[in-house]
Each structure stands twice: as structure tokens, then as C-alpha cells.
Structure 1
Amino acid sequence: MKTRTRRSLEAVGQGLALSVISLAGSITLFVVAVVSICLILLGVGVLTTPAVLTAVRAHANQRRLLAAKWSGVRIPVPYRAFPPDLRGGITGQVERCSLLLKDPATWRDLGWLLADMTAGFITAVFSCGLLLYAVEGFVLAAGLWRVFTDDRYWYAFVPVSSQLTGLAAAALGLVLFALGLRYNTDLLRLHFTLARTLLAPRHDQELALRIERLTESRHDAVDTSAAELRRIERDLHDGAQARLVAVGMDLSTIEALIEKDPARAKELIGKARQSSKEALTELRDLVRGIHPPVLAERGLGDAVKALALRLPVETEVGVELPGRAGAPVESAAYFAISEALANAVKHAAADRIWVDLSYAEGMLRVAVTDNGGGGAAIGTGSGLSGLERRLGTFDGILAVSSPAGGPTMVTMEIPCELS
């Protein structure tokens, strides 16, 4: 009961925030987008439309992130990727504008903006308005209705003009408060469900997009695997192999000096022992980079906690996993988290990081949050594009919320089953 009450009270603030975003943000973006598209006929819109539609997508992705975080509603990200050889300059702007307008997801976004400023706003307002309006009824019962008027004050259908009618307003407020506690989380979920209905692609479009992404992620996985093998070969050649060759040469020298110069042989034995220890350490680090032993032995939660202990930034890890995912999924999630943490340490200038792992509705969910300067975005060379491709191999998704000034939240979802 306490958990539901706390969740309902949280939904008040969330609904209030969504109502402001839906009314101000969606209206502004819709008007600007329509005007920019109309200006394409004059040539000006070709330059402005890509930036405007990119902002619309960022706005929609922010709603996807909030839907997953606040109500557990997953909204697919259906945008087509730009070709890697897209040109720059005016020609590139024209191509980018053309690709955006040909993407069906662009027109779904615009339709969603129109609905978000109307029906979306209404559901968001009701999710917070019931409880807030109920408080007004309690205030009127205290006789404060005289502050508003000397005659009578209408509270819903109750005319408040005396202490008795004030108590009637309080009774109505109590009913509204009970209704708010019971239904405001459902109204919040309805808001996100409406967004999913309008933003998500049709089933055939989703399947085609999924095939396209899986094909691309398969190529990325092959390239990544080949690059990883080359890295392992290079590390073995330059590290452990070189040290073991040196140990072998020292042993040959020791064999020749063991009788002629025992002191020198003893010195070389110590050197060979130290080289063998260093080679063993390098081999262990290499194995840990391929698949950490703690991940295989203790699972994803403990592996991430062990990873956090090695970071130079204070990191808090929360784990709510009722079981273990398959080894490939655990490995992908571990290295994705590792990369997200490395980005936070390297680029965010944060002094605290939070990692939350949970599982719900067939989804392994990971949120990596830092209190750094923000400004992170997919496709800006921050490493997030590679992380997105890594997750795409498992049909996973990545969402990033990183306003200027922070905080930054990187959310990952991977469909899987737990043992």
C-alpha cells in the first residue's frame, strides 16, 4: 500500500512535468516543423528542416526514455540511419533533408506532436490534476474560500458559501484524492501508451526495420569480432609472447653459465622469474578483457560491482535481477556498461555515477547516470554509436538523455529470458 501511495505521489510531479512538456514543447516543435517544411518551396527550408526534424526526434526519444523509466512502456526507435558516405555542405543538407522527409517515422513524429499537445496534454494534466484539485477542496473546508470571493466559490459542482458547504467541498476533495491515488498512475501509463500507438511503426514496417538492423548489426558483429581477434593477436605478440621469448633466452644463458658463473646465473634466474610473473599478469588481463571470470562465476550484477570498484569515480550500483541471462547477453551487457562507464569517466567530468540493473517484461534494463556536464549524443564520436551497434546485435536499444549542464542518463534495453 505504501509503495502504491508513493508511486501515485511521484506520478503527480511526473504528470505535471509532462503536461508542461506536451503543451509548450510539442506545440513549439510542431509549428516550427510545419513552417520549416513549407519553406522548402522557397529553398530556405532545405537548410532548416534537418535541424528542426532532428530536434523533433530528440523530443520523441526523450518521451521514449521517460515512458520506459516512469511506466515501463517500451516505444521502439524506428528511424532509418543515414548512409555513412553522406556528403557535407549544401549538397549534404539537401540529401539529409530528402532522407528525413522520406522516412515514415518523420511523419509519425509530426502526427504524435499534434496528438501530444491535445490528448497527451489532457491525460498528463488529469494524472496530476486530481490530487492537486483535491487539495483545493481541503483548503476551502478551512474557511479560506472567503479569500477568493465574498459571495460563493464554486468547487466543481459544489457552491461554497459557508462552513457547511466547505465541508461538502472537502468531502468531494477526499473522493477526488482517492480517485487520484487509484488512477493517476494508470492515466500516466495511458499517456505513454498513446505515444507508443502513434510513434511505433506498423508491424510490417517494424519487421522490415528489424531485418535491416539485424543485417547491419551482423556485419558490425563480424567486423568487431575480426578487430577483437587482431587486438588479441597484437597483445599476445607484443606482450606475453615477447616476455616468454625473453624467458627462453634467459634460460639458455643460464644453462651456459650455471657452472662457469653461478652468481650471474642466479641473477638471470631472478630476472626470468620476474618476466614469467609479468607475462602471467598480462595473460590474466587479456583473459579478463575477453570474458571476466567474475562474470561467468557470479553473474552480471557482481561483475558490474567489481567493475565499479576499479573506477576512479564514486560509483553506486543497484541490482534487481531475479535470475541470470544467457552468457552472450550478459557479456554484451557487461561490455556495454563498461563502455558507458568509461565514457562517463573520460568525457563527462563527473564525480559520481549511478548504475541500475533491473528486469521487467522480458527486458534487461540498464541505466547509467552521471552528474557530469552533459552534452553526450549518439553519433558524435563519444563511443555511443559503437555501444548502440553492440546492443543492436541482440535486438537491443539505446536511449541517451544528456542536456547541456547534465545530468546524463544512458538507458539500455536487451530482450532476453532469465534463468
Structure 2
Amino acid sequence: MKPWPFAKRGLVAVARVAVAGILGTPIHIVLVLLTLISLATTVVGVGLVLAPLVQLLVRAYADLRRWMAREWSGVDIPRPYRPRPDGAWIGTPKRWLWLVRDPATWRDLLWLVGGAPLGLGFGFGSAILLVYGLQGVILLPVIINLVSGDDTGYGVTWPLNQVSWGSVPFQGALITAGILYAAPWLQWALAKYDQSLLGPTSAAVLTRRVDRLTETRTQVVDAQAAELRRIERDLHDGAQARIVALGMSLGMAEDLVLHDPAAAQQLIAEAREASGLALAELRHLVRGIHPPVLAERGLVGGLRALALTMPVPVVVEGELPGRPPAPVESAVYFAAAEALANVAKHSGARAAWVSLSYLGGALYCSVSDDGVGGAAPGSGSGLAGVERRLAAFDGSLRLDSPPGGPTVLTMELPCVLSSPKTSPFSATG
């Protein structure tokens, strides 16, 4: 590692640990005292107002520490708090009960109590060691030179412990290098401590996942019912009507075939044309359920065929070690199709890219373009529907679309791929 980037990284980490530890300690102490006072004064009614106000401060400070952990150490800490019930206003018993019944409230208090000595020790320890090491490198040799009159400053011995002054800069350099190396780890350790108490517990994570799956299941049931109604409507108004008309035309031709062969021939020609249109509508309807190209060429091949129909040049790249389950394959295909349709309609892009990969038990599909950016799930672009489609498979969608572009849409779906021996549909194109 080069000296300056190493030193810069260490100095920044020392400063951050000092800010989080030294400056954070009095905040921890004050918030702990305010929390205890607010809870104790509930018996006289003051705590009904004071406790919610103090918890607003505690949670605001906890949110700041979550931001610091994410931005400084890359440690993501989701907010674990339960949603506020209706009518739980500050000053009402309902608001107070909501706070005291939330396990995150007591975990915040435990975090405040433990974080004060931990932060103080990390902050002061790193700062003192850095100053001690630097003064050993810079200040002490200079002082010894001035006091002893020695030109080099390395020939004088300390009268108490008989350690040569020549070792002082060396020791200082070792201490300085050691703390600069350890500071990023101290910063990370503080972030992990915050994560252990400020994040949701495993039980809360499972509860949230169950709630999310319950919500998505309801959405999937509603979407499936709407899809069935659409299929029924398309069949009734399209192919079914044409087939009924076809039967009537053939019946009339049967009556006319003996005494007016020309008219019967005309009706038969019209019936043949109607049968072709009915077949085309049925094929279109089937493609909306499960595109045949997926069964024939797999997901990568299907997306490459889809790319050929787009008005914007699309490059499809993918290498899958197997084949996803058919429902997942279909969901990714239609989600990518919706994303590419948005590229063509709204982005003003000159080119787009689709990338497929499989990592850690999840299928990733990324759709990007060089357009104007500014896409959002709630802007009527259909991304909310894509998100609901993926949520049915416990999948997720991430959108990065700053104004001016580029736009990158990443879909993640956990799944298990079939054996590559039975699925030769991985390709790069």
C-alpha cells in the first residue's frame, strides 16, 4: 500500500472514531438520563408527553449513527421500529404504550448505555495513540536536540530507563503506523456494535418477511384474478367471437353450396380468413401467458429475440450455469420486456444493455441505458408493476436513475437453477 493513501485512510478513520466516540459520549449520557427521567415521571403524567419527545431525539440520533455506519463503514442498519398506530399522538397513553411495548425502544437504551464507554475508549484511545506516536516521530527528537545541544539528537540516553533516544522516532513511527492501520477496524467495530443493537432482531426480520410475503401473496392473488379476467375477456371478445362467426359462415355456405356455389365459395373464403385471424389472436394470447421462445431458447435466447424487436439497439449478455424454473423465467422475461419498453418510450436512449448472471443462489437481471434518466417507480412507467411481479417470488428491484442518466435497473430473484446438462440455454451475445 502506498504511504499517502494508507496515512489518509487512517487519519480519516481516527477522526471519525473520535467524532463518533468522544463527541458521542455526552450525547449518550444525556439521552440515557432523559430516557430514565421521562419514564419515571410517567406516574405523575409528565412522562406521557416527555417520553415520546425524548424518544424522538433518541431515534433521530440513532438514525444519524445508522447513516454514519452505512456511509463510513458500509454497514447497513435497517430501522427496526414498529409502525405507529392510528391515534397514537404525543401525550396520549396509546403513544406511550406503543413506545414501551416496542423492543427497539429498550434496545436503543441498551445501545446508549453500552456505547458511551465503548465510544469513549475507542475515540480517546485512537486519538491519544496517534498524538503520542507523532510526537515521538517529530517533537521529542527536536526537544532533545535543543536541550542536549547534540547535533544529531541520537547520541543522548534517557537517564531513567536507559533507552536510547535513537529509538524514540522508530517507536513513534511504529505506534503511528499501528494506529493508522487499526483505526479503520475500530471504525468498523463501532459500526458493527451499532448494528447489533440498532438493527432489527432475527425474529423481527422473520416477522417482516412474513408480513411482506403475506402482502405480496395478496397482490399476486389480485393480479392473477385480473389476469384471468383479461384472458377471459380477450377470448370472449376476440377468438371466441371469430370462431362463432366462422361456424355461422360455414353453416350458411352449407345451405348455399347446392343452389349458389359462388356465394358458398365466398363464405368459405371468409371463414378461412376468420380462422387465420382467430389462430393469430390465440397465439398472441398464449405469448402473453408464457412466450414459446422461452421454451425453445431459454431466458437468454428469449431476451435476445426480444431485443431484435426493439427500436433501440439492445445488447444482451448472459451466462447462466443452468435454467431457472419456468415461473421465474417468465417473470424475468416480462419484467425485462417492460423495462425495455420504458427505454423505448421515455428514456431517449441511443442504446440499451441487458445483463444476466447467477450468484449466491439468486438470478440477477440488469437493464441499463444511456438515456436522460430520472425514472421513478411512481411515475407511471410500469415499474411498480414490475416490482409487484418480482415480489411474488421474494425478489427485489433496485433503480438507479439520476437526472441526466444513465439508468440502471437491477432485478434480483432467489431461485435454484436446473442442471446445465439438461439446460443448454446459456449464451453470450
TM-score normalized by the length of structure 1: 0.56
CA displacement at 1:337 relative to structure 2: 1.5
CA displacement at 1:297 relative to structure 2: 2.9
What code does the residue aligned with 1:204 have? Answer: A
Q: 2:81 & 2:229 partners in 1: Cα distance?
A: 31
In structure 2, the residue corresponding to 1:312 is in which secondary structure? coil
Q: How do 1:77-88 residues align onto structure 2 when only pairs under 5 Å count?
A: none
Aligned to 2:164: none
Aligned to 1:345: 344
Q: 2:224 & 2:218 partners in 1: Cα distance?
A: 10
Q: 1:265 & 1:362 partners in 2: Cα distance?
A: 62
Aligned to 1:119: none
Distance 1:354-1:197 versus aligned 2 partners, 3 A rule: farther
Contact 1:78 1:206 in 2 (8 A): no
Aligned to 2:215: 216
Q: 2:338 & 2:80 partners in 1: Cα distance?
A: 24
Q: Which moved more, 1:229-238 or 1:311-320?
A: 311-320
CA displacement at 1:365 relative to structure 2: 0.6
1:267 aligns with 2:253: no
Distance 1:317-1:264 versus aligned 2 partners, 3 A rule: same
Aligned to 1:372: 371
> Any idea what the Cα deviations from partners look like across 1:260-302, whole Å, max 9, x if unmatched?
2211211221111111001001100100110011212322111
Aligned-pair identity in percent equals 52
CA displacement at 1:76 relative to structure 2: 9.4
Aligned to 2:318: 319
Q: 1:323 & 1:238 partners in 2: Cα distance?
A: 40
Contact 1:78 1:209 in 2 (8 A): no
Distance 1:335-1:403 versus aligned 2 partners, 3 A rule: same
Aligned to 1:241: 240
What code does the residue aligned with 1:279 have? Answer: A
1:227 aligns with 2:226: yes
Aligned to 1:115: none
In structure 1, the residue corresponding to 2:403 is in which secondary structure? coil
What code does the residue aligned with 1:318 have? Answer: E
Contact 1:388 1:398 in 2 (8 A): yes
Aligned to 2:46: none
Q: 1:81 & 1:261 partners in 2: Cα distance?
A: 80
Q: How do 1:16-415 residues align onto structure 2 when only pairs under 5 Å count?
A: 201-415=200-414
In structure 2, the residue corresponding to 1:366 is in which secondary structure? strand
Q: 1:242 & 1:400 partners in 2: Cα distance?
A: 43
Q: 1:196 & 1:286 partners in 2: Cα distance?
A: 53
In structure 2, the residue corresponding to 1:336 is in which secondary structure? helix
Contact 2:352 2:370 in 1 (8 A): yes
CA displacement at 1:103 relative to structure 2: 12
What code does the residue aligned with 1:394 have? Answer: F
The higher radius of gyration belongs to 2
What code does the residue aligned with 1:340 have? Answer: A
> Any idea what the Cα deviations from partners look like across 1:298-356, whole Å, max 9, x if unmatched?
22111111121222221111111110111222122222222222222222222311110
Contact 2:321 2:417 in 1 (8 A): yes
CA RMSD of aligned residues (A): 5.1
Q: 2:365 & 2:384 partners in 1: Cα distance?
A: 17
CA displacement at 1:210 relative to structure 2: 0.5
Contact 2:80 2:204 in 1 (8 A): no
Aligned to 1:417: 416
Q: 2:82 & 2:278 partners in 1: Cα distance?
A: 44
What code does the residue aligned with 2:247 have? Answer: G
Contact 1:398 1:413 in 2 (8 A): yes
Q: 1:242 & 1:370 partners in 2: Cα distance?
A: 42
Distance 1:103-1:374 versus aligned 2 partners, 3 A rule: farther
What code does the residue aligned with 2:267 have? Answer: L
What code does the residue aligned with 1:216 have? Answer: E
CA displacement at 1:408 relative to structure 2: 0.9
In structure 2, the residue corresponding to 1:272 is in which secondary structure? helix
Contact 2:299 2:333 in 1 (8 A): yes
What code does the residue aligned with 2:284 have? Answer: D
Q: 1:274 & 1:79 partners in 2: Cα distance?
A: 63
> Any idea what the Cα deviations from partners look like across 1:174-232, whole Å, max 9, x if unmatched?
xxxxxxxxxxxxx9xx99x9799689743222211111110000001100110000000
Q: 2:322 & 2:194 partners in 1: Cα distance?
A: 29
Q: 2:262 & 2:381 partners in 1: Cα distance?
A: 55
Q: 1:249 & 1:368 partners in 2: Cα distance?
A: 49
Q: 1:335 & 1:103 partners in 2: Cα distance?
A: 41
Q: 1:250 & 1:238 partners in 2: Cα distance?
A: 18
Distance 1:408-1:231 versus aligned 2 partners, 3 A rule: same
What code does the residue aligned with 1:352 have? Answer: A
Distance 1:288-1:277 versus aligned 2 partners, 3 A rule: same
Unaligned runs of 5+ in 2: 21-48, 50-59, 87-97, 112-184, 419-429
